């Protein structure tokens, strides 16, 4: 016989790490021709972190890295 699974068991099963994935899309200036380009990255934000600060850091670091490439 199959084990009976209750609704409570299903809810407990899905509770892993308390985080969410955020897709960040930002613009940067191409060093080759000076045109605006788009870049994207996915970051994981945990429940106890400051979401706005993490996203702004990702945008700043991503732009700096892409604009430095020649």
User: Among 70, 61, 2, 1, which residue's Cα sits nearest to residue 30?
Assistant: 70
In a domain, 27, yes or no: no
Could you give the CA distance from residue 3 to residue 34 in angstroms, rounded to a whole number?
A: 63
| The predicted structure's pLDDT at residue 30 | 87
In a domain, 70, yes or no: yes
| The predicted structure's pLDDT at residue 25 | 95
| Helix or strand run (H / E) with residue 4 | none
Structural domain of 47: 41-70
In a domain, 16, yes or no: no
Q: Which residues pair with 45 in a beta bridge?
A: 20
Q: How far is CA 1 from the centre of its chain?
A: 43
In a domain, 26, yes or no: no
In a domain, 60, yes or no: yes
In a domain, 49, yes or no: yes
In a domain, 28, yes or no: no
Section 25-40 average pLDDT: 90
Q: Which tens digit of pLDDT belongs to each residue from 7-31?
A: 777 776 666 668 899 999 999 888 8
Section 31-58 average pLDDT: 91
Q: How many domains does the chain have?
A: 1
| The predicted structure's pLDDT at residue 53 | 94
Residue with tokens 């969410």: 20
């Amino acid at each position: 016989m199959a084990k009976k699974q209750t609704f409570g068991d299903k809810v407990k099963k899905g509770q892993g790490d308390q985080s969410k994935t955020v897709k960040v899309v930002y613009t940067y200036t191409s060093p080759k021709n000076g045109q605006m380009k788009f870049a994207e990255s996915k970051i994981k934000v945990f429940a106890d972190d400051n979401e706005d600060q993490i996203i702004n850091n990702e945008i700043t670091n991503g732009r700096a890295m892409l604009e430095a490439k020649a």
